[in-house]
Amino acid sequence: MDNRRKLVSALDPKSPITEQYRTIRTNIQFASVDKELSTLMVTSAGPGDGKSTTAANLAVTFAQQGRKVLLVDADLRKPTVHYTFNLTNTFGLTSVLTKQRPLEEAYVESSISGLSILSSGPIPPNPAELLSSVSMDTFLKHAMEQFEHVIFDTPPVLAVADAQILSNKCDGVILVVSSGKTEIEEAAKARDMLIASQGKLLGAVLNNKKLTESNYYYYYGQK
């Protein structure tokens, strides 16, 4: 139940928090005028900043627009997407990358119309090598033939190299920072690392910021 609460965009579409996820979605859509941002990556500086919750809710809000969306758990070390959506993790991304299962047989449709989920699959001994492989490029090509948006949940930038490897394969990168938890120096270092790896950093999402009901969007959200 704790994990299902993270899907506020699906469970409480009129909440102020859901409205903020819609705002993030709109900002992403306006971030590129000439080309639609189809492949997106969500990461954070460190663990526990809310990147997985942000990725899941963004995927939901894109699907609520009538888009075909694939949410991919690319955290091949500590995957959580299958918990959030109450799925098994016997096969998934690693199964596709190692050619044990085709993409069409690896993802599952969620209860949210238009949203499909590709869990991580069995945890491999070489996550970074898998993400940087030719198989990953092939996976991206096939995924974009079937979906309008592919959203990746990746490990924290400062923990392992996985997010940097994937960042320059995606159209855009979103960095999640946690209010009162993420140090400014950590966020800045994560930003610099993503830019150094030629990731297209779209911006940052400030998470866990305490708000009062006097904020203007509470007024609109409760209508």
Residue identified by tokens 């400014």 is: 184
Of residues 33 and 53, more confidence is placed in 53
pLDDT of residue 217 exceeding 80, the answer is no
Distances from the Cα of 100 to the Cαs of 4, 32, 90, 143, in angstroms? Answer: 30, 36, 12, 16
Whole-model pTM?
Answer: 0.90
CATH code of residue 168:
3.40.50.300
Q: What is the pLDDT of residue 2?
A: 53
Residue type for position 69: V
DSSP symbols for 39-54: EEEEEESSTTSSHHHH
pLDDT of residue 215 exceeding 70, the answer is no
Of residues 8 and 120, more confidence is placed in 120
Mean pLDDT of 152-178: 93
Domain range holding 105? 2-221
- Tens of pLDDT, residues 45-81: 988 888 999 999 999 999 999 999 999 999 999 999 9
Give me the number of domains the chain comprises. 1
Q: What is the pLDDT of residue 1?
A: 44
Q: What is the pLDDT of residue 51?
A: 93
3-state secondary structure of 22: helix
Mean pLDDT of 26-39: 84
Structural contact between residues 167 and 199, judged by C-beta atoms closer than 8 angstroms: yes
Structural contact between residues 58 and 215, judged by C-beta atoms closer than 8 angstroms: no
HSE-up of 127 (CA within 13 Å, CB side)?
A: 21
Distances from the Cα of 52 to the Cαs of 77, 79, 157, in angstroms? Answer: 13, 9, 13
